[in-house]
Amino acid sequence: MGKIFGTDGIRDRAGSGYLTREFVTRVARAVGGLLRENPAQFRTPPPPSLRARRPATAPLRARGRVVIGRDTRASGPDLERWLVEGFQAEGVGAALAGVVTTPGVACLTRAWGAALGVVISASHNPAEDNGIKFFSPQGFKIPDRAEERIEKILQENGAPGKPRRKAPPPLDLSSSVGEYLDFLAGFSRPLGGMKIVLDCGHGAASALAGPLFERLGARPILLNASPDGRNINAGCGALHPEGLAEAVRREGARLGASFDGDADRVILADETGTLRDGDHVLALCATHLKERGRLPGNLVVSTVMANFGLERYLAGLGIALRRTPVGDRFVAEEMVRSGAVLGGEPAGHILFFDASPAGDGLLTTLRVLDILAERGEPLSRLALEKCPQVLLNVPVGRKPPLQEVPEVRKAIETATRALGAEGRVLVRYSGTENLCRVMVEGTDAALVDRLARDVADAVRRELS
């Protein structure tokens, strides 16, 4: 058995590999046993900026239980049932939130005083895949050491023994998910009939986005909000925002927002229909916070994938960009270490540590709208100029260290020399899919495109 946890929890094809009934039940029993042994090992102390922003729910709904939420995939109910079986076998009760976004589970885990949060989702992956993500009682991804302990138990132990003790039956709290919308609504001013296009990707935002924006006085236009268990992320949502851009132009909307399957990230379209990603959101929010003296250390955290144009833009404002490995958990960890309140990824996963511990596409959209209203200008006025960047995803059959594949190493070195100081090359494996991601950026678009294809071809020849 190899490494079980990727960069964002456990993922596999639903019903096979790490997502069979037997294995999912074992995962829950391993986690349940560790919870009984020492719940503190799952804790992640929040940064000072978050300690005063805990959502207030009285009485606490799920104290001592595990909150479980899922996206709209057909396999979700089975995985939910298997997790409950495993937790109950260890004497741990479950509170079922039903279909809700990943950040919704993080929020409700904090609000309801739960022992742990669990999300059943494969985020932007196709409907055939699924996954399991764990959140601490404070709403963050669980610590690395906790994941390592779970992996060790799963890798060393055989099938679990007899159930240890009885647990209470699952508590259905799906009707209380509206408390998450209450929390979000507190971060927005009235939207005054504003026309907004929302592409829900047939995912977890489908039943939440419309009511939230209607409640705030907007006129939401919903796209792809009819999940059938098989259409999540299918040609829509944050991975395919072209339809969003077209709808914004057609409807004359003020803004468009396109979410992925679990709505922890968002790609925006400004009022002209021009797409705006996480780099644009970070530029806008950093500018606004810096001007108002609310950007501690004049620091923004992003990943190695952040465009060099963002780094130059922020430097011009006296703001430092600190880079981490790809993955929101690495961004969050660096934000906690550095005291930063703003961070995120180009893919649209944005963290506001003055509001929430989790990246949240709905919250990000509200934050952008609030900033634009306060500044009295449209998103199209943002002056960020991104460097030409090409990102190619190459399917691979194996994942050896790239430096140990001579032809790939040579192609990377050749591309790096050709760019010199005017660009960079980043080649890495996806932590959630059998893909190698090739990113090249620089000032010459034609050169960037050619070099990216050269490196991708070498990866394809050697590793496909």
Domains of the chain, by residue range, sit at: 10-176, 180-274, 276-381, 389-463
Take residue 286 and report the two structure tokens written for it.
Answer: 């950093």
* Residue 34: CA count within 13 A, CB half-sphere: 23
**What does the alpha-carbon distance between residue 205 and residue 195 come to, in Å, rounded to a whole number?**
18
Q: Which two tokens stand for residue 7?
A: 């960069």
What pLDDT, in 10s, does the model give residues 263-287? 999 999 999 999 999 999 999 999 9
Rounded to 5°, angle at Cα 456 from 454 and 462:
105
Confidence category of residue 56, pLDDT binned at 50, 70, 90: low
Total-model pTM: 0.90
Q: Which residues are catalytic?
A: 123
Angle in degrees, CA 221, 360, 124, rounded to 5: 80
Of 40-49, 314-323, 328-337, 349-358, the least confident? 40-49
Give the mean model confidence (pLDDT) for residues 320-333. 94
- Confidence at residue 159, expressed as pLDDT on a 0 to 100 scale: 46
Dihedral sign of CA atoms 13, 15, 17, 19 in order: positive
What average pLDDT does the segment 287-296 reach? 96
Distance CA(33)–CA(182), nearest Å, equals 34
341-358 residue pLDDT tens: 999 999 999 999 999 999
Query: Percent of the chain, pLDDT > 70?
Result: 96
Q: Does the domain made of 276-381 have the CATH classification 3.40.120.10?
A: yes
Cα(395)–Cα(172) distance, rounded to whole angstroms?
Answer: 40
Taking residues 417-427, what's their average pLDDT? Answer: 91
**What superfamily in CATH does domain 389-463 come from?**
Alpha-D-phosphohexomutase, C-terminal domain (3.30.310.50)
Q: Residues near 182 by Cβ (< 8 Å), separated by ≥ 6? A: 55
**How much is the pLDDT for 272?**
97
User: Strand, coil or helix: what is 62?
Assistant: coil
- pLDDT at 52 (0 to 100): 55
> Is pLDDT of 431 > 60?
yes
For the domain covering 180-274, report its CATH number.
3.40.120.10
pLDDT of 163 higher than 80: no
Count other C-beta atoms under 10 Å from residue 134's C-beta.
Answer: 22
pLDDT, mean of residues 229-243: 97
- 10-176 shares its CATH topology with 180-274: yes
CATH class assigned to 10-176: alpha beta
- For residue 118, which phi and psi values (nearest 5 degrees)? -130, 130
pLDDT for 277 equals: 97
Which of these, 343, 370, 360, 396, lies nearest to 47 by C-alpha position? Answer: 343
Question: Nearest-CA neighbor of 26 among 87, 97, 114?
Answer: 87
Confidence of residue 290 (pLDDT cuts 50, 70, 90): very high
